[in-house]
Amino acid sequence: MKKLIIIFLMLLSSDLWAQDSLIYHPEINAAEQIKSATIKATAENKHVLLMIGGNWCRWCKMFNKFVTTDFQLDSAMNKNFVVEHINYSKENKNAETLKNLHFPQRFGFPVFVILNSTGVIIHTQNSAYLEKGEGYDKETVMDFFNQWRKEALDEKNYKN
């Protein structure tokens, strides 16, 4: 009986852990997510970083873990962007939203779309260019974050 209780508790805790590890949520309306993100980006003087993918995508989860567990990457990302995970899965492909984003799924997953605070697309990033070997390259990802932050696109920084 003790063994059964231990096995049950292990299964229960692993299921709860799996629920906590979900980063993409098919039940969320992506258009509403983006609208909320742009409002927040305006208030915080940031751009919006959309990470498009799904919980089924190994590379999507790997990228999220890569940037959120590295202090420098996490700081650069959150300092400069309002971050939203936009779901693409068999449960919800968010087809209309991806159409409005000019079909970023053509690059595979994950794919990243940068919006300004009014919701205008300013860049779509194929994640393959951020990879190195069987993972991601910190220097390249940091460069991506830096090149697309709001200040990098401020014309005041580029005097004649």
Q: Has residue 145 got a pLDDT over 80?
A: yes
Assess contact for 23 and 64: CB atoms under 8 A: yes
> Does the pLDDT value for residue 81 go beyond 70?
yes
Q: What is the mean pLDDT of residues 133-144?
A: 98
What average pLDDT score do residues 26-33 get? Answer: 97
CATH number of 23-150: 3.40.30.10
Q: Which residues of 133-144 are buried (b: 16+ CB within 10 A; e: fewer)?
A: eeebeeeebbeb
SS3 159: coil
Pair 148, 122: CB distance under 8 Å: yes
**Extents of the domains making up the chain:** 23-150
Q: For a pLDDT cut of 90, what percent of the chain falls above it?
A: 84
Q: Give residue 119's pLDDT band: very low, low, confident or very high (50, 70, 90).
A: very high
Across 111-130, average pLDDT: 98
* Confidence band for 17, pLDDT divided at 50, 70 and 90: very low
Residue 18 has pLDDT above 70, yes or no: no
pTM to 2 decimals?
A: 0.86
